[in-house]
Structure 1
Amino acid sequence: MKRAELTSYLNDYLQVGLYKDYAPNGLQVEGACEIKTIVTGVTACQALIEKAAELNADALLVHHGFFWKGEPEVLTGMKYRRIKALIDNNINLLGYHLPVDGHPEIGNNAQLGRKLGLTNAEAIEGVAQGLVWQGELAEAESPQAFAGRIHHALGRDPVYFGAEVEQIKRVAWCTGGAQDYIDIAVQAGVDAFISGEMSERTFHSAVEQGIHYFSAGHHATERYGIKALGEHLAEKFGVNHQFIDIDNPV
């Protein structure tokens, strides 16, 4: 497929116009006109770019791309090396941030809900651009059992703390650096809230507001949306696709 066709389809499919974001969504670095092989990954780090080059990818599709608000605008150091590698290998870089978090089918939040076996999963309406989701367990379970559920699904142990109430039934979540959405979870009346990252203040928010909190890892919670998006493109357009997981303990 053509680069312009891919970009147009993704912009429409992911409804980029719905989100006020921190970086441009869409084509960020221009490469080959013809797209036959797409590599997906969470972050456009040097290791992922080099792996895409090894696989002769025409496009690298990521959740965390470049040109974030507040970052230096000059092309020097790490930023220069990454962009040079893309240009030298004629690889298109396409980045989609909040649209990949919020998409109702392939999105990070939708995928995390499925991974954790949460039913009746949906975005909480009217807050945080629809990025905070809620759902429930088939049966209530202890926070220790729920931590085990997260470990089994994501392959890492979450940090958890919070409420005195022993059982968890209703859960809210938002992948990535969404720890301050804990107040939205409290207002929704759920028993637990999951995000990727946590801050020092998160502990006090959870304890004082009587909610269980689980920090499951920024990278770990955001692996599945971009992978699902690549699989969707492969099925719809017949392009080759490979998801590359560059491990990140954060």
Structure 2
Amino acid sequence: MDNFLLEKIINKKLSSDEYNDVVPNGLQIEGEKTIKKIITGVTACQDLLDKALSYHSNTIIVHHGYFWKRESQYIHNMKRKRLKTILSNNINLYSWHLPLDIHPTLGNNAQIAKKLNICIKGHILPYLLWGILEDNINAFDFAKKIEKKYKKKPIHIYENAPLYISRIAWCSGKGQNFIKKAYNFGIDAFLTGEISEETMHIAKELGVHFFSIGHHATEKDGIKSLGKWLNNKYGLDVKFIDIYNPA
């Protein structure tokens, strides 16, 4: 497949033109014209680039790419090594950020709901969803369910919160600052990737359950589902590489 055709196909699938993002979505760095093996991952770190080379891949698709707003424009050290690896090996680098958080079936937030059996009811913000748990569930049982599904124990803040939860809001990645907006909407629990120092106090004083799973953990499944879609629909050779990151 042609590299610009692949960009067009994914842009259309993810409705990329609808979002004003803080990073360019699509083909960020042009490489070899014909797509061969595709490696997918959460972040275009050096480890992922090296893995792509070891698999003789000429195409990488990630959720976290390069050229973020307010990012330094100097190409030094780490950035120089990354760009040199990509350019000297004629690799195509694609990245989709907000479009891959928000997509109603492939997106990170949709995949969280699928994994934890949350019935999606709507959006508080485009990237902040709310829904209903399958039954009123003991919050500590829900924490165990998260641990089982994500293979890591979540940070769980629960002081002053009711034992059973039903209405939950969630946002993949760095969504901890939306906890007050979710509370004002009327929820029992809030789930996201990251936690800040003040999040514990906010959750405690509002009396809601807060679950932090990790930024990386909440944003693996979107890029994986995109890769599966490309394989199933277009027969492309796609392999997801999970570069360990506890954060």
Deviation at 1:236, TM superposition (A): 1.3
> Aligned-residue CA RMSD in angstroms?
1.2
Counterpart AA for 2:136: A
Q: In percent, how many aligned pairs have the same letter?
A: 43
Q: In the TM superposition, what is the alpha-carbon distance from 1:89 to its structure 2 partner?
A: 1.7
Structure 2 contact 59–91 (Cα < 8 Å) conserved: yes
> Within the alignment, does 1:47 sit opposite 2:44 as a pair?
no
* 1:18 equivalent in structure 2: 18
Once residues 75 and 233 of structure 2 are traced to their aligned partners in structure 1, the CA distance between those partners, rounded to angstroms, is: 36
1:188 CA drift (Å):
2.2
CA distance in 1, matches of 2:122, 2:76: 40
- Report the counterpart of residue 230 of structure 1 in structure 2: 227
Q: Which amino acid aligns with 2:127?
A: L
Superimposed CA distance per residue, residues 28-70 of structure 1 (whole angstroms, 9 cap, x where no aligned partner): 1111100121110000000001101111112100000001111
Query: Structure 2 matches for 1:42-121, cutoff 5 A?
Result: 42-119=42-119, 121=120
- Which residues of structure 2 form unaligned runs of 5+? none
Task: Say whether the 8 Å CA contact 1:11–1:26 is kept in structure 2.
Answer: yes
Alignment-derived partner of residue 160 in structure 1: 156
SS of residue matched to 2:23? coil
Q: What secondary structure is seen at the aligned counterpart in 2 of 1:137?
A: strand
Does structure 2 conserve the Cα–Cα contact (< 8 Å) formed by 1:123 and 1:134? yes
| Residue identity in the other structure for 2:239 | Q
Residue 30 (1) aligns with residue 27 (2): no
Aligned residues: 246
Code of the residue aligned with 1:6 in structure 2: it is L
Q: 3-state DSSP class of the match of 1:124?
A: strand
Q: CA deviation at 1:184?
A: 2.3
The whole-number CA distance in structure 2 between the counterparts of 1:52 and 1:164 is: 45
Show structure 1 runs of 5+ residues with no match.
Answer: none
Q: Aligned equivalents of 1:23 and 1:164: distance in 2?
A: 37
Structure 1 CA distance, aligned partners of 2:36 and 2:122? 34
| 1:221 and 2:218 aligned | yes
Match of 2:197 in 1: 200
CA contact (8 A) 1:172 1:185 kept: yes
Q: TM-score, normalised by structure 2?
A: 0.96
The one-letter code matched in structure 1 to 2:118 is: L
List structure 1 segments (4+ residues) > 4 angstroms apart after TM superposition.
none
Q: Which AA in structure 2 matches 1:97?
A: H
The CA distance in 2 between the partners of 1:117 and 1:68, in whole Å, is 33
Contact 1:123 1:131 (8 Å CA) reproduced:
no
Is 2:141 aligned against 1:142?
A: no
- Taking structure 1 as the reference length, the TM-score comes to 0.95
1:209 aligns with 2:206: yes
CA shift digits 1:161-217 (9 cap, x unpaired): 134311011111001001011122112211100010011111122122221111110
* Residue identity matched to 2:227: G
Q: Answer yes or no: is 1:188 the counterpart of 2:185.
A: yes
CA deviation map 1:132-164 (0-9, x unaligned):
111222222222111111101111111111343
Cα drift, residue 231 of structure 1? 0.8
Q: Tell me how far 1:122 sits from its aligned partner.
A: 4.5
**Residues 38 and 60, structure 1, Cα contact 8 Å, conserved in 2:** yes
